[in-house]
């Protein structure tokens, strides 16, 4: 079976370059050589090399020009040119040692044959498959390519077939993105607008323009960035979750909240709730810009039938108003998961973001304190002093032997209260394999004479209160 | 959805321009807490003050949350959500604003617009005018404001006057359950002081009324000395 040779592809790999801002600049420079560039993954982009190479006078010359252009913006990159994306990606790998590797047309099979099968892993192929092939004695892509596609497919399924196709020099076509269009919209206010109402009104029209511009291209955005500039040079920039479901009025609402929040943060505490409409902003707003952030293809929006608590508009509005005042991290949704501490069993996710509990639930988590959960879990441990009858600090040895029964507890340097009941020590040695996160503690439950109970722990001879029960 | 109260008396406070569909109703509370509240629930539009943040605040919020209400917890970074979930709070319908900052009245007003129940520990003492404005927002939105701390003019005040735990020995055992004497008083229909002994929490993490038989004579209400653990016997 013969595979039609794929088109010539140039891959630019900039190692260790994952910041989106810098990568955008790299792509912007590349579009001077070819307008249709695919961003394969952060730090790696590709384009069809045939046309540009002919225009600039050969593939090596083109690669040299790109390397020079990258050096101008302070980026070091490696270039691989080959038939097909897969071979070009391999050619651009740093192991080759040269900044530019050109695999001549038709030489792809020869280039691929000695490559180890482990390179398949880098290409999003099944990790298990690469390991399996290796254990079966198929060490190189050439070994794999020597089999017929039917043999490979019958034994290794779809993943095997895909790997076989890559080994034979086949590759997927490039998914180039259209040249980055500026889909943002902006309006200037001259003279500066001192009231927020006209700005919000203008925002609605702007949002309609932006959304129709996106819709005309079959696109949508994950977030909308709202930028406002005041005459005195102050700026406010905030990203709002959009997910393709926000109407123009919804965007205008967020602009209003952002402006309100900016004023609130500026030291106009006072009124609760929407106060007088005629308040003025210092200097007035001169520019309002809406920028679609993370533009993606619009695929429609499907709400989950089960398992996703629908956040009503009313709640979302309230939460976002507060986020506009205090920042997105200020409004959190709790997720309960597993863990040994009361603290680590709850993960907080900013409202509007999706998250997972940091420790998975449904597992036993040995060493967890049984019984009722504490009503107060301090974000930071509070210093404590635990003393025995004689007023000496209670100590715990490495073998968990308590020097004397705890008789008094003082939290944060406060008054000392008699301890009327205690239990412990419960040793807990966590993450000993990771020196940075390793902790070795002995925990106690203490009840003081006012009927309150505390979860205290000793670590390195220091008593701390982690949580309280009342 | 939220249940309506048996007594649909809107009260004089609900004469504002917009009355929520459920105005005059109550937010459900856990069954064990009904006895403590004059209407058997948290009256919408009212402020309920609890002397100190603790399980009692969470228990008051849990019933409404389990019944479908959205809850916001503002100004309490140390809230023990695991205990709250154990009491019945639905974490999926909970917003947490650990630090509402200096403009907390505005934050609370915004939260009241979206959530039926807001549990607040004010970071600072609010001027009376700000309090009144928040109360107006509260009546308009038809929610309930639970304040952990002082709130002059609160409709209802609750506090845990005494409590003691069972399960802890002298170097052995573990905390199992807590008996708490909860006192409620307030203005108007809540003027009569009510006192109840509750398991807060019970062994299963929930709230339950304490059977008087579980209160030895020495520990019964109006006993002089604070209870000692040793006297409880069967823990």
For A148-186, write each residue's pLDDT tens digit.
888 888 888 877 888 888 888 777 767 655 555 678 888
Render each residue's pLDDT in chain B as its tens digit; 235 residues.
Answer: 444 444 444 444 433 333 333 446 889 999 999 989 988 899 999 999 999 999 999 999 999 999 889 999 999 999 999 999 999 999 989 999 999 988 899 999 999 998 999 999 998 888 899 999 999 999 998 999 999 999 988 999 999 999 989 999 888 899 999 999 999 998 888 888 999 999 999 998 889 999 888 776 655 544 444 445 555 545 4
pLDDT value at position A178? 54
8 Å CB contact between A429 and A440? yes
Please state which architecture CATH assigns to domain A185-299+309-324: 2-Layer Sandwich (3.30)
Mean pLDDT computed over A122-128:
63
Which secondary-structure segment (H or E) carries A332? strand A332-336
Residues of A in contact with B83 (CB under 8 A): 342, 372-375
User: Is the CB of residue A307 less than 8 Å away from at least one CB of chain B?
Assistant: no
8 Å CB contact between A291 and A221? no
Cβ–Cβ below 8 Å for A322 and B107? yes
| Closest by Cβ to B94, choosing from A273, A333, A378 | A333
pLDDT value at position B21? 38
Distance from CA of B105 to the nearest CA of A (A): 5
Whole-complex ipTM: 0.82
Residues of A in contact with B158 (CB under 8 A): none
CA distance B103 to A1: 72
Instruction: Name every residue whose Cβ is closer than 8 Å to that of residue A244 and which is 6 or more positions away in sequence.
Output: A220, A221, A298, A300, A301
> Which 8-state DSSP code applies to residue B35?
G
8 Å CB contact between A42 and A18? yes
Residues of A in contact with B86 (CB under 8 A): 372-373
pLDDT value at position A16? 64
Cβ–Cβ below 8 Å for B80 and A375? yes
The burial class, CB within 10 Å (0-12 / 13-18 / 19+), for B117 is: buried
For A416-454, write each residue's pLDDT tens digit.
999 999 998 988 887 777 777 777 889 999 999 988 999
Distance from CA of B109 to the nearest CA of A (A): 5
- Residue of chain A whose Cα is closest to the Cα of B204: A372
Mean pLDDT computed over A223-246:
80
| Closest by Cβ to A318, choosing from B53, B113, B173 | B113
Q: Which of B175, B176, B207, B223 would you mutate first to test chain A, the one with the most A CBs within 10 A?
A: B175
Residue with the bigger pLDDT between A242 and B35: it is: B35
pTM > 0.95: yes or no: no
Residues in A 387-446 with any Cβ partner in B closer than 8 A: 402, 405, 420-424, 445
- Residue of chain A whose Cα is closest to the Cα of B113: A318
pLDDT value at position B5? 42
At the fourth CATH level, which superfamily is domain B23-148? P-loop containing nucleotide triphosphate hydrolases (3.40.50.300)
Cβ of A276: how many Cβ atoms within 10 Å? 6
Mean pLDDT computed over A201-226:
84
Cβ–Cβ below 8 Å for A423 and B171? yes
CA distance A278 to A34: 53
Residues of B in contact with A405 (CB under 8 A): 170-171
8 Å CB contact between A412 and A404? no
Scanning the structure block, which residue is given the tokens 């802890």?
A: B168
Mean pLDDT computed over A325-331:
84
Cβ–Cβ below 8 Å for B165 and A469? yes
| Closest by Cβ to A423, choosing from B70, B72, B169 | B169
Domain at A8-167: CATH code = 3.30.70.270
- Residue of chain B whose Cα is closest to the Cα of A454: B175
For the cut 80, the answer to whether the pLDDT of residue A308 exceeds it is no
User: Is the CB of residue A341 less than 8 Å away from at least one CB of chain B?
Assistant: no
Q: Which of B65, B82, B120 would you mutate first to test chain A, the one with the most A CBs within 10 A?
A: B82
Distance from CA of A239 to the nearest CA of B (A): 19
Residue A28, token pair as written in the block: 């912007």
Cβ of A211: how many Cβ atoms within 10 Å? 24
pLDDT value at position B153? 87
Beta strands in chain B (DSSP E): 26-27, 42-43, 47-50, 71-74, 94-97, 117-120, 144-148, 156-168, 170-171, 173-186, 194-199, 208-209
pLDDT value at position B216? 64
Cβ–Cβ below 8 Å for A372 and B229? no
8 Å CB contact between A263 and A321? no
pLDDT > 70 fraction of chain A, expressed in percent and rounded: 84
Distances (CA, A) of A31 to A25, A28, A161: 10, 5, 34
User: Is the CB of residue A327 less than 8 Å away from at least one CB of chain B?
Assistant: no
What is Dmax (Cα atoms) for chain B?
61
| Ordered DSSP codes for A74-133 | T---EEEEEESHHHHHHHTSGGG-SSEEEPPTT-HHHHHTTSBTTHHHHTT--HHHHHHH
**Hey, where are the domains in chain A?**
8-167, 185-299+309-324, 376-469
CA distance A87 to A104: 11
Cβ–Cβ below 8 Å for B98 and A379? yes
Residue B91, token pair as written in the block: 């974490």
Task: Residue count of chain B, please give it.
Answer: 235
> Which 8-state DSSP code applies to residue A159?
H
For A39-48, write each residue's pLDDT tens digit.
777 678 888 8
Pairing state between β B144-148 and B47-50 = parallel
Instruction: Name every residue whose Cβ is closer than 8 Å to that of residue A4 and which is 6 or more positions away in sequence.
Output: none
For the cut 80, the answer to whether the pLDDT of residue A57 exceeds it is yes
CA distance B159 to B56: 8
Cβ of A342: how many Cβ atoms within 10 Å? 22
CA angle A247, A252, A257 (to 5 degrees): 125
Taking each helix axis from N to C end, the angle separating A313-326 and B104-114, rounded to the nearest 10 degrees, works out to 170
Residue A232, token pair as written in the block: 């005195």
- Residue of chain B whose Cα is closest to the Cα of A382: B78
Cβ–Cβ below 8 Å for A451 and B80? no
Mean pLDDT computed over A181-205:
85
Mean pLDDT computed over A342-370:
79
- All CATH 3.40.50.300 domain ranges in chain B, comma separated: 23-148
Q: Which of A254, A321, A421 would you mutate first to test chain B, the one with the most B CBs within 10 A?
A: A421
pLDDT > 90 fraction of chain A, expressed in percent and rounded: 14
pLDDT value at position A275? 39
Closest CA to A330 of B98, B108, B76, B114: B98
pLDDT value at position B7? 41
- Residue of chain A whose Cα is closest to the Cα of B99: A330
User: Is the CB of residue A371 less than 8 Å away from at least one CB of chain B?
Assistant: yes
CA angle A67, A121, A143 (to 5 degrees): 100
DSSP three-state, residue A197: helix
pLDDT value at position B178? 92
Closest CA to B12 of B3, B21, B23, B22: B23
Residue with the bigger pLDDT between A386 and B216: it is: A386
Cβ–Cβ below 8 Å for B168 and A447? yes
- pLDDT category at A196 given cuts 50, 70, 90 is confident
Instruction: Name every residue whose Cβ is closer than 8 Å to that of residue B129 and which is 6 or more positions away in sequence.
Output: none
Closest CA to A5 of A87, A106, A145: A106
Neighbouring C-alpha atoms within 13 Å toward the C-beta of B156: 26
pLDDT value at position A243? 67
CA distance A92 to A95: 8
8 Å CB contact between B148 and B58? no
Which secondary-structure segment (H or E) carries A204? helix A196-216
Pairing state between β B117-120 and B71-74 = parallel
Instruction: Name every residue whose Cβ is closer than 8 Å to that of residue B110 and which is 6 or more positions away in sequence.
Output: A273, A318, A321, A322, A325
Residues of B in contact with A272 (CB under 8 A): 105-106, 108-109, 130, 133-134, 137
8 Å CB contact between A378 and A466? yes
Cβ of A388: how many Cβ atoms within 10 Å? 17
DSSP three-state, residue B131: helix
Q: Give bridge partners of residue A46 from the DSSP assignment.
A: A11, A38
Residues of B in contact with A348 (CB under 8 A): 96
CA distance B89 to A189: 48
CA distance A352 to A71: 40
Cβ–Cβ below 8 Å for A319 and B114? yes
Residues of B in contact with A319 (CB under 8 A): 95, 114
Asked if the peptide bond before residue B103 counts as cis, ω within 30 degrees of 0, the response is: no
Which secondary-structure segment (H or E) carries B139? helix B128-141
Residue A363, token pair as written in the block: 């597992």
8 Å CB contact between B31 and B67? no
């Amino acid at each position: 079976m013969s595979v039609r040779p794929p088109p010539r592809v140039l891959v630019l790999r900039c190692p260790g370059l994952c910041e989106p801002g810098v990568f955008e600049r790299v792509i912007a420079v590349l579009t001077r050589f070819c307008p249709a560039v695919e961003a394969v993954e952060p730090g790696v982009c590709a384009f069809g090399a045939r046309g540009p190479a002919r225009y600039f006078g050969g593939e090596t010359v083109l690669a040299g020009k790109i390397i020079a252009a990258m050096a101008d913006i302070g980026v070091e990159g490696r270039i691989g040119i080959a038939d097909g994306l897969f071979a070009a990606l391999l050619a651009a790998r740093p192991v080759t040692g040269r900044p530019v590797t050109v695999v001549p047309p038709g030489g792809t099979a020869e280039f691929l044959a000695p490559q180890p099968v482990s390179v398949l892993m880098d290409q999003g192929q099944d990790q298990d498959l690469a390991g399996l092939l290796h254990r079966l004695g198929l060490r190189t892509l050439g070994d794999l390519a020597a089999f017929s596609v039917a043999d490979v497919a019958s034994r290794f399924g779809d993943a095997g077939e895909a790997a076989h196709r890559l080994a034979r020099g086949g590759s997927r076509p490039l998914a180039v993105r259209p040249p980055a269009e500026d889909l943002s919209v902006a309006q200037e206010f001259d003279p500066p607008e001192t009231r927020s109402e006209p700005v919000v009104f203008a925002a609605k029209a702007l949002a309609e323009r932006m959304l129709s511009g996106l819709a005309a291209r079959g696109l949508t955005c994950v977030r909308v960035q709202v930028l406002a500039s005041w005459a005195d040079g102050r700026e406010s920039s905030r990203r709002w979750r959009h997910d393709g479901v926000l109407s123009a009025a919804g965007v205008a609402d967020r602009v209003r909240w952002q402006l309100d929040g900016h004023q609130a943060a500026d030291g106009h505490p006072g009124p609760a709730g929407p106060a007088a409409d005629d308040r003025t902003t210092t200097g007035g707003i001169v520019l309002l810009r809406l920028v679609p952030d993370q533009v993606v293809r619009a695929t429609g929006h499907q709400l989950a039938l089960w398992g996703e608590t629908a956040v009503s508009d009313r709640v979302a509005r309230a939460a976002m108003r507060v986020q506009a005042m205090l920042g997105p991290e200020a409004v959190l949704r709790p997720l309960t998961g597993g863990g040994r501490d009361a603290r680590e069993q709850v993960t907080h996710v900013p409202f509007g973001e999706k998250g997972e509990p940091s420790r998975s639930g449904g597992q036993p988590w040995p060493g967890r304190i049984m019984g009722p959960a504490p009503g107060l879990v301090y974000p930071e441990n509070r210093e404590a002093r635990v003393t025995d009858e004689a007023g000496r600090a209670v100590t715990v040895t490495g073998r968990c032997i308590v020097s004397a029964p705890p008789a008094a507890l003082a939290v944060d340097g406060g008054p000392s209260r008699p301890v009327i009941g205690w239990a412990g020590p419960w040793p807990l040695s966590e993450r000993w394999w990771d020196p940075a996160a390793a902790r070795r503690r002995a925990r106690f439950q203490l009840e003081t004479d006012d009927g309150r109970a505390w979860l205290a722990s000793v670590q390195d001879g220091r008593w701390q209160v982690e949580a309280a029960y009342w | 959805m939220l249940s309506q109260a048996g007594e649909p008396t809107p009260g004089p406070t609900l004469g504002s321009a917009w009355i929520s569909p459920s105005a005059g109703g109550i937010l459900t509370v856990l069954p064990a807490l009904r006895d403590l509240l004059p209407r058997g629930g948290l009256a919408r539009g009212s402020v309920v003050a609890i002397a100190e943040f603790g399980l009692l605040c969470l228990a008051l919020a849990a019933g409404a949350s389990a019944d479908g209400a959205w809850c916001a917890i503002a100004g309490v970074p140390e809230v023990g959500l695991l205990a709250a979930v154990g009491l019945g709070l639905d974490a999926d319908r909970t917003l947490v604003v650990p630090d509402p900052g200096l403009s907390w009245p505005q934050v609370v007003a915004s939260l009241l617009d979206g959530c039926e129940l807001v549990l607040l520990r004010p970071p600072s003492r609010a001027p009376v005018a700000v309090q009144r404005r928040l109360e107006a927002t509260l009546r308009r939105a038809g929610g309930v404001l639970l304040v952990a701390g002082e709130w002059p003019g609160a409709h209802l005040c609750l506090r845990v006057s005494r409590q003691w735990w069972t399960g802890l020995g002298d170097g052995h055992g573990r905390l199992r359950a807590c008996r708490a004497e909860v006192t409620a008083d307030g203005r108007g229909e809540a003027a009569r002081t009510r006192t109840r002994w509750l398991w807060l929490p019970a062994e299963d993490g929930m709230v339950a009324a304490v059977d008087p038989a579980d209160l030895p004579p020495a520990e019964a209400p109006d006993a002089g000395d604070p209870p000692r653990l040793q006297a409880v016997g069967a823990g």
